[in-house]
Amino acid sequence: MLKKVLLVIGGIIVLALLVSLVLPSKVPVERSIVINAPAAKIFNEVNSLQKWSAWDPWQKIGLIF
């Protein structure tokens, strides 16, 4: 029984290694957004540490204190 379990686990590991050889090593990810506001206003919002909490998505979900 133990031998069968080890063979299944080994097979899964070998299969994962074979799949990883076929997949690309890098996947490009791009995101963009159009902000309908003057550049000076946007710069003032992102340049001020006191204003970051208003727009920072990490702080909104509670990951940054």
Which helix (H) or strand (E) is 7 found in, with range?
helix 2-22
Residue at 5 is within a domain: no
Question: What pLDDT does residue 45 have?
Answer: 83
Residue at 13 is within a domain: no
Segment 37-65 shows an average pLDDT of 80
**Domain count across the chain:** 1
Residue at 22 is within a domain: no
CB-based contact 64:56 (threshold 8 Å): yes
pLDDT digits (tens, 9 = 90+) for 9-19: 999 999 999 99
- The CA-atom distances, in angstroms, between 36 and each of 12, 30, 40, 46, 61 are 50, 20, 12, 15, 25
pLDDT > 80? residue 51: yes
**pLDDT higher for 55 or 63?**
55
Burial-class residue 7 by CB neighbours within 10 Å (0-12, 13-18, 19+). Answer: exposed
Segments forming the whole domain that contains residue 50? 37-65
